[in-house]
């Protein structure tokens, strides 16, 4: 029997208590893994967005439109290499539970500012050349069985057509893929802005946002300021930021993910600290006599300290590993959901390494008090031999 076996033996001698503690730790690390993994996944995707890409939205918030005329005025600013625009359609297929993220875009220019899209040139030509066309991410098309040439009706939960119907017919022009470096998942259905704009009952000649490519990252800041200054006295003032910042802002409309990670994880870990720490103190107190016997047999204080610290470390590491494993499973399942608007979720090494760091820290802190107590335990006192 080695020390590791001795640690595991002691850990599982009270099976129910240990399983409950492991479950509590697992939940804490499931929460941490999910939140931190989500945050890191977003960061990984956004880090791929070029630094010279800007997004302009209405300064009130991104749900408020901008006049279409702004697009050409932006294009005229010095240093703007290209600009495109898009509009949120708010779509679902057949039933509302089948939500399908859909953007009405300028088909000729949108692909140039969406580097994550990889589309077959024939599909692209078919899409650009057909006003009522739509293209969709491959996984979504496969889920609903859309074939090239199919008539597909998408419902908008925002925009009715002129005739009052919320059903919008489209011709399916083909699929596109998301490039691997952007995570392969996600993506939205793309439709023609002109087709959408002419047929919608309200909001005509408005766009949701403008995407700008600057000639260089250095020019981007100046252009952002110039765009916002240009429309400072207009009915729709603008706010221009880097595309990465906009995307993060979109996700963090109501709450900062990083703050959630910090707050929830801190609360979870503090709870674990109290629960596991208290349980370890009680467990070792119950075994005071056994510790004294081990010391009598010749186990040194340092070795006893190591055994007890090893117990709390093993407990937290087992629970934490299960929590991270469960997180990976959930992420994997989420990535299989078609039409999922989230960026591809993954547990990146940095998240795993940080989690393991927290596990080691928690294991040490929770085991420290009983381990020091056992280290300093006087044999004659513990065995009642005074």
Partner 1 sequence: MTDPIMRLEGVCKGYRRGGEEIQIFDRLTIDIETGAFISIMGPSGSGKTTLLNLLGGLDKPDDGRIVFDGQEIQGWGESRLAKWRAANVGFIFQFYNLMPSMSAARNVELPLLLTNYSAKERRRRVATALEVVGLSDRARHRPRELSGGQQQRVGIARAIVADPRLLLADEPTGDLDRQSADEILSILSLLNRDLNKTVVMVTHDPQAASRARQELHLDKGRFTDAQVAAQ
297 binds partner 1 (CB under 8 A): yes
Q: What share of the chain is helix, strand, coil (3-state, %, to 5)?
A: 55, 20, 25
Only one of the segments 60-68, 101-109, 298-306, 322-330 lies at the binding site for partner 1 (rule: CB under 8 A); that segment is 298-306
Would you state the structure tokens that stand for residue 382, as one six-digit string? 């513990």
**87-to-191, 206, 363, 375 alpha-carbon distances in Å:** 10, 8, 50, 67
Residue nearer to partner 1 on the CB measure, 6 or 264: 6
Question: Rounded to the nearest 5°, which phi and psi values hold at 164?
Answer: 90, -10
Residue nearer to partner 1 on the CB measure, 38 or 305: 305
288 binds partner 1 (CB under 8 A): no
300 binds partner 1 (CB under 8 A): yes
Asked if 51 contacts 217 with a C-beta cutoff of 8 angstroms, the reply is yes
| Dist CA 115 CA 119 (whole Å) | 10
Asked if 149 contacts 187 with a C-beta cutoff of 8 angstroms, the reply is no
Residue nearer to partner 1 on the CB measure, 333 or 380: 380
> What's the chain's Rg over C-alpha atoms?
29
The contact mask relative to partner 1 for 302-331 (x = CB under 8 A, - = no) is: x-----------------------------
Shortest approach of partner 1 to residue 289 CB, angstroms? 7
Question: 144-163: which residues touch partner 1 (CB under 8 A)?
Answer: none
Q: Which of 51, 123, 245, 383 binds partner 1 (CB under 8 A)?
A: 383
Q: Which of 8, 215, 293, 356 binds partner 1 (CB under 8 A)?
A: 293
**Angular region, 135: left φ>0, alpha ψ -120 to 50, beta rest:** beta
Shortest approach of partner 1 to residue 42 CB, angstroms? 47
Contacting positions for partner 1 (CB under 8 A): 1-3, 6, 9-10, 13, 289-290, 293-302, 379-380, 383, 385-386
């Amino acid at each position: 029997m080695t020390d590791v076996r001795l640690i595991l033996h002691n850990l599982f001698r009270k099976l129910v208590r240990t399983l409950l503690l492991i479950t509590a730790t697992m939940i804490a690390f499931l929460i941490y893994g999910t939140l931190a993994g989500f945050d890191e996944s977003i960061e990984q995707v956004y880090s791929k967005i070029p630094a010279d890409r800007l997004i302009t939205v209405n300064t009130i918030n991104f749900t408020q439109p901008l006049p279409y005329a702004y697009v050409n005025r932006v294009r005229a600013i010095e240093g703007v290499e290209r600009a495109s625009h898009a509009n949120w359609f708010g779509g679902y297929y057949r039933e509302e539970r089948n939500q399908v993220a859909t953007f009405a875009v300028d088909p000729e220019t949108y692909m140039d500012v969406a580097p994550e899209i990889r589309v077959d040139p024939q599909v692209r030509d078919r899409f650009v050349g057909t006003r009522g066309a739509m293209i969709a991410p491959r996984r979504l098309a496969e889920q609903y069985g859309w074939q090239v040439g199919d008539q597909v009706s998408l419902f908008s939960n925002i925009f009715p057509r002129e005739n009052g119907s919320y059903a919008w017919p489209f011709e399916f022009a083909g699929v596109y893929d998301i490039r691997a470096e952007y995570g392969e998942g996600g993506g939205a259905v793309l439709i023609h802005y002109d087709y959408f704009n002419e047929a919608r009952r309200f909001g005509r000649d408005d766009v949701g946002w403008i995407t700008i490519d600057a000639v260089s990252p250095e020019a981007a800041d100046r252009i952002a300021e110039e765009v916002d200054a240009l429309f400072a006295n207009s009915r729709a003032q603008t706010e221009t930021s880097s595309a990465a910042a906009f995307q993060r802002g979109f996700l963090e409309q109501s709450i900062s993910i990083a703050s959630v990670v910090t707050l929830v994880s801190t609360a979870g870990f503090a709870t674990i600290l109290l629960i596991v720490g208290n349980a370890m103190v009680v467990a070792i107190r119950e075994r005071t006599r056994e510790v004294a016997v081990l010391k009598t047999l010749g186990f040194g204080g340092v070795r006893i300290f190591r055994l007890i610290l090893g117990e709390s470390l093993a407990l937290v590491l087992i629970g934490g590993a299960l929590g991270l494993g469960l997180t990976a499973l959930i992420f994997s399942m989420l990535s299989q959901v078609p039409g999922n608007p989230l960026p591809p979720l993954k547990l990146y090494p940095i998240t795993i390494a940080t989690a393991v760091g927290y596990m080691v820290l928690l294991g040490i802190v929770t085991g420290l008090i009983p381990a020091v107590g056992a280290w300093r335990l006087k044999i004659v006192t513990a065995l009642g031999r005074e």
